[in-house]
Structure 1
Amino acid sequence: MSRSLPTDQHDREWEQENLRNFRKLLLSVQASLKQLNLLIAICDHPTYREELIRDYEAQLTAKGITCLRVQLDRHQTSLKQALLALAAEEPALYEDQPVMVTVCGADQMLSVRLDQEQSAREQFFFSLQWTREALRQFQFPIVIWLTEQITRELTQQAPDFWSWRGGVFQFVRPIGRSDNRSSGEFQDFQLEAKPKKPISLAESRQKIQELQKQIATLEVQDPESPLLPSLYSSLGEAYEERLDNGLVAAHAKEQQLAIQAYEKAIALQTEEDSVELARTLKNLANLYRSMGRYSEAEPLFVRSLAIYEQQLGADHPHTATSLNNLAGLYRSMGRYSEAEPLFVRSLAIYEQQLGADHPHTATSLNNLAGLYRSMGRYSEAEPLFVRSLDIYEQQLGADHPHTATSLNNLAGLYDSMGRYSEAEPLFVRSLAICEQQLGADHPDTATSLNNLAGLYDSMGRYSEAEPLFVRGLGILFNSLGETHPKIQTGWANFLSFLQQVIEAGQTDRLSDHPTTQRAIEQLRQSSGEMAE
């Protein structure tokens, strides 16, 4: 990039983040040539935005990639129609050559309706939300430039489209985290969840078979039994337990089985306002959230919260749990202003009802801190993370999995703040606990490995980072299968790391591991250059 570094310390930090995101954006485009990949770039400054676009177009063009642009406006608010018009004019889109498309103009769309039923911006969001599947015909990466304000509105009005994004790249002022490699993947807690513990495939299979047998017997002998909804809900939880422990390769199939079990439990509930129904709604909503199906999760969380408030009261711990879960969804959707008061209210209930040192209070502190970290409010996040960690260590023990997660999150904050020497021992300790308590091949262990590797990447300790990345990917490949979203994120992290090593001219610090060589070959193919 051609922009010179500013002298102000904060500007220097922002510029470093801009450079990292610029490199990740380039890599994401090159890694997804000849396939659809929706990439979101956020920048509020038109001049700087245009400079960034020119920079990456120049670099990509030099590598033989055709760079095209689409301009949206109040007369053309449909991304699909704009791309179809471009395709009619540009034969390169149908030829067997690498192409990428930049989409601009969303910031020029007015939010006022004038004499129309919908404003131009509302029409844009509607188009994105309801024509998402139609975009599959476009086999090339698309970079859509938005402002912060439009991004926040998009997450609310087109949540399905937002969940389909392949990456988010913030320029000038970091308000959140990229979906590519982050400085420590934040892990929030699902309140009311049982403590994580390893479970074998045989144990899981036996549990599911027993539940299926009980369900089959009751459906024949007493199809009106009030036990059936509970059994179906337990079956859904059993499938999720397998997913959480990385025990299945057919991840999507297992998710669908869990959804079907929860939906059956909900359909069999005769009391529309029962607490048991609220719990099942919450479980299904959490599953949808983990799958990125936010628009389906939200009404379930809202309904679950309403039941808890009505049946148990506004200040009941279960109500606090429901508030936490809805807030967590809004955090995932980027709806931070809606998430904060829910997290704050949840924390107040736990402190009042359970005490300042209860593990649930620690959980609530952790999740509010995670929101502040996403918002860039680091000074507010740190004391909450520290207090959360202290409670877990005192109440659950120094080697509890929740303590490991808390260590990971505080370390991730320090990584974001550039306080690497403070982050390292926390990441190392978190990894050791995961290995000891959950097992060397557990998906959470893979997350810890990836986070520590990311720290070493930031510190330039490439020879230490690589084996951690490789080991973490190995765990995910074996436990989740190559199509799982965590694999895609982990692989993108690894590619970004290797690209940085190559650009630094330090490939001699890399090993000959097959995973590393496979990734380097992918980089070579995507860039059209041989990495030395």
Structure 2
Amino acid sequence: MSGYQPVHLTDWQPLSQHTGALIRLLNIVEKENRFRFVVAIFSDTAYRNQMIARLEKLVSENQCLDIEAEHDFFEVLNQLYHLPSNTALVHLLGASAWLQDSSRATDLLHGLNYQREQVAANCPFVIVLWLYDSQVRDLAQNAPDMWAWRAAVLDFSLPLEPEAILSQREIVKEKIVSIQADSHERQRRLADIEAYLSKQPKRYASDAALLREMSRIYMVFGDITQAEKSARIAYDISHEYDDKQGCAMAVGFLADVFMIRGDLDEALRMRTEEELPIYERLGDARSLVVTKGKIADILQLRSDLDEALRIRTEEELPVYEQLGDVRSLAVTKGKIADILQLRGELDEALRILTEDQLPVYERLSDVREVAVTQGKIADILQLRGELDEALRIRTEEELPVYERLGEVNSIAVTKGQIADILQLRGNLDEALRMRREEELPVYERLGEVRSIAITKSKIADILQLRGNLDEALRMRREEELPVYERLGDVRLIAVAKGKIADILQLRGDLDEALRIRLEDQLPVYEQLGEVRSIAIARSKIADILQLRGDLEEALRMRTEEELPIFERLGEARSIAVTKGKIANIMQRRGDLNEALRIRLEDQLPVYERLGDMHEIAVTLHSLFDLYWEAQEFQNAYEVISKAFTIVMQLGIADGISMVGLKLGQAMIMVNQLEEAKHVLMQSRDAAAKLGQADRVRAIDTLLDEQNKVASDT
């Protein structure tokens, strides 16, 4: 039956390619308080019903009028004319059945055409006529007057893809849990599936899809053991029925499980040895290239960026070009941009996002993917220190789309990214409020244990910045680390222990911090084969050695163990950062000339080429220290002035606080006393905002000294 059957979906989301059409329909309903005629194309009744249910949540005063059983067009008009006066949107269903009946087709088409003005006068709301694609031509040709009044023709049709739409079985047709569903809905969905499966006298081939869904939900809940169990049962069922594609999909879920556990080697083996060969045998070009993309994801996590990039450019892109799949082409180019971003090639990554990816989604009217891409653009701008523009994109272009689509998860993620920017700008109170009040409660409601732990980690970051080391350490040990241990995620365990080491280092417990780095963190990254993380961990070890005065060993680690990895990875930014740390050691050893050469020749030009304003400011600040130590006060003043201009433009509170203090000192040395007072007050305001009591006292002392000098003269 084509009639509307109510569906009980709390947070179902449409496919991404339909979000543009959905928002256009919402705009018509909300902006046009009068008769508007919209044609909506559908191919799947269950999906159409889901879309209508979704619209019921977004638009008040919805009506569904099913005319399939009617045979009198004037009775249809009578029902339309007697709808409640506050009706905003009417879904006219069953017209497809009329058009399949030659006698009723003429009545419907002629009625719509000749009664156009009467309908418009008596129906001050939006009427959506749902038709199959093949019937739209009949409407245009045989009801040309009504067709001329159409406000839009919206395409909600979809191909029959087993994993993308509902199957015809009741257990799947009634409920589908989206990524936005809360934990209660997911628990209810699990219970529904388990109850259904327990009643079956035997396992059917289609049960594998339900078990894969269970595996996905268990992953969200952090119950990796059950996720693995469900995926393995799904594999067994597909294998029993000789469903090769089902086997491959189940293997893909198992690979996801191993990725979550941090066992990238096993995940890679399963993708390459078990999943990929099935699609090769089936000749399934699309699934084959999608799996290669997931292999590239793993290689990217292992910092094998060259091979990941090769797969993206040589094995993924050509297939999508051959298939004419512009969406997948855009997605793959976005992932290429991700790799370039990791390698520090920010300009090229930004070009791909703005020129190769964003225009495609705009042309497809895929508003969600437009928002996602704009978010990635904001990521790069943030890395380049362009915080104002990054914040504008987050608040004005990205967040409103997710709010309009009702995507609670994406809203929470974006608010977390806004909090990141506020944190960089020194607005710690607002960043902390957003984490606690707008981000964390969403993940708790959704039951996303991993996201809960990560958000608590970011709250601990803010507490650490505010000097509340005891509470930050407690959160790391009691609220963050146990979650990762329960998930069996060895990588996140290592990351959390590294952050504990950061706090211990700040508290002066260098021995325990060093032990954690050497025994709990570095071996994990070595086991996982994450060469980039290995280099970063070794850099942190060298930091501790440097603090303990072991400059020779720290220098050896920088030059022999850290730098070669970043050079092999081709990460220009990381190479420059490491050379800066080598310059620090040279300065500590009294070799000011070599330290100065590194800053001027090996660091500054790299950041200028990358357009990384933040790191340019950091390097200029380091040059100030060198010039100041050499008592070259004019040079010191010139470089710190440039650094201060940058941090003021970027709005980085910590930079304004630190650089402003040093600029004030330099201005005093070059006899710019009044200007020095103004800069020092700006520095003091930023330090006070961040709760940097020691720095506030230092600035106050300097200002008092200048006031005393001024009064004496």
The TM-score normalised by the length of structure 2 is: 0.38
Specify whether residues 394 and 518 from structure 1 end up closer, same or farther in structure 2 by C-alpha distance, changes over 3 A only. same
**Aligned-partner Cα distance in 2 for 1:276–1:525:** 47
Give the counterpart letter for 1:293 in structure 2. Answer: N
Aligned residue number for residue 295 of structure 1: 429
SS at 2:549's partner residue? Answer: coil
How big is the shift at 1:395?
0.7
Q: Does 1:374 align with 2:506?
A: yes
Higher relative contact order (CA 8 A, sep 6+): 1
How big is the shift at 1:528?
4.2
Q: Does 1:311 align with 2:446?
A: yes
How big is the shift at 1:269?
4.8
Q: Does 1:338 align with 2:471?
A: yes
Q: Does 1:402 align with 2:533?
A: yes
Contact residue 624 and residue 637 of structure 2 kept, 8 A:
no
How big is the shift at 1:281?
2.2
Give the counterpart letter for 1:446 in structure 2. Answer: A
Could you give the per-residue CA deviations for residues 390-432 of structure 1, whole angstroms, max 9, x where no partner exists? 21122134xx222222222221122122222332222223233
How big is the shift at 1:474?
2.7
**Aligned-partner Cα distance in 2 for 1:520–1:308:** 43
Contact residue 545 and residue 551 of structure 2 kept, 8 A:
yes
**Aligned-partner Cα distance in 2 for 1:393–1:318:** 25
Could you give the per-residue CA deviations for residues 454-482 of structure 1, whole angstroms, max 9, x where no partner exists? 1221122333322222222232334336x
**Aligned-partner Cα distance in 2 for 1:332–1:466:** 30
**Aligned-partner Cα distance in 1 for 2:458–2:415:** 11
Aligned residue number for residue 445 of structure 1: 575
Aligned residue number for residue 375 of structure 2: 236
Structure with the largest fraction of helix: 2
Contact residue 389 and residue 407 of structure 1 kept, 8 A:
yes
Contact residue 399 and residue 411 of structure 2 kept, 8 A:
no
2:620 to 491, 497, 509: 491
Q: Does 1:207 align with 2:338?
A: no
**Aligned-partner Cα distance in 2 for 1:211–1:486:** 28
How big is the shift at 1:296?
3.2
Stretches (4+) displaced over 6 A: 514-518, 520-525
Aligned residues: 306
Give the counterpart letter for 1:462 in structure 2. Answer: L
Contact residue 211 and residue 235 of structure 1 kept, 8 A:
no
Aligned residue number for residue 593 of structure 2: 463
Give the counterpart letter for 1:459 in structure 2. Answer: R
How big is the shift at 1:350?
1.1
Q: Does 1:283 align with 2:417?
A: yes
Identity of aligned residues (%): 16
Contact residue 236 and residue 259 of structure 1 kept, 8 A:
no
Contact residue 411 and residue 423 of structure 1 kept, 8 A:
yes
Specify whether residues 527 and 515 from structure 1 end up closer, same or farther in structure 2 by C-alpha distance, changes over 3 A only. closer
Aligned residue number for residue 57 of structure 1: none
Give the counterpart letter for 2:441 in structure 1. Answer: A
**Aligned-partner Cα distance in 1 for 2:459–2:493:** 17
SS at 1:460's partner residue? Answer: coil
Give the counterpart letter for 1:207 in structure 2. Answer: L
Q: Does 1:322 align with 2:322?
A: no
Aligned residue number for residue 501 of structure 1: 630
SS at 2:406's partner residue? Answer: coil
How big is the shift at 1:524?
8.5
Contact residue 453 and residue 469 of structure 1 kept, 8 A:
yes
Aligned residue number for residue 96 of structure 1: none
Could you tell me which runs of 5 or more consecutive residues in structure 2 were left unpaired when the two chains were aligned.
1-337, 642-662, 672-713
Specify whether residues 465 and 240 from structure 1 end up closer, same or farther in structure 2 by C-alpha distance, changes over 3 A only. same
Contact residue 237 and residue 258 of structure 1 kept, 8 A:
no
Contact residue 381 and residue 387 of structure 2 kept, 8 A:
no
**Aligned-partner Cα distance in 2 for 1:412–1:449:** 13
The TM-score normalised by the length of structure 1 is: 0.50
**Aligned-partner Cα distance in 1 for 2:639–2:586:** 19
Specify whether residues 293 and 340 from structure 1 end up closer, same or farther in structure 2 by C-alpha distance, changes over 3 A only. same
**Aligned-partner Cα distance in 2 for 1:516–1:362:** 40
How big is the shift at 1:489?
3.1
**Aligned-partner Cα distance in 1 for 2:640–2:348:** 38
Contact residue 262 and residue 284 of structure 1 kept, 8 A:
no
Aligned residue number for residue 669 of structure 2: 527
**Aligned-partner Cα distance in 2 for 1:197–1:485:** 17
1:422 to 529, 553, 569: 553
Could you give the per-residue CA deviations for residues 287-313 of structure 1, whole angstroms, max 9, x where no partner exists? 332343323322222232222223225
Specify whether residues 197 and 467 from structure 1 end up closer, same or farther in structure 2 by C-alpha distance, changes over 3 A only. same
Specify whether residues 447 and 202 from structure 1 end up closer, same or farther in structure 2 by C-alpha distance, changes over 3 A only. closer
Contact residue 576 and residue 603 of structure 2 kept, 8 A:
yes
Higher-Rg member (1/2): 2
SS at 2:508's partner residue? Answer: coil
Q: Does 1:411 align with 2:542?
A: yes
Give the counterpart letter for 1:241 in structure 2. Answer: I
Aligned residue number for residue 708 of structure 2: none
Contact residue 385 and residue 410 of structure 1 kept, 8 A:
yes
Contact residue 358 and residue 373 of structure 2 kept, 8 A:
no
SS at 1:257's partner residue? Answer: helix
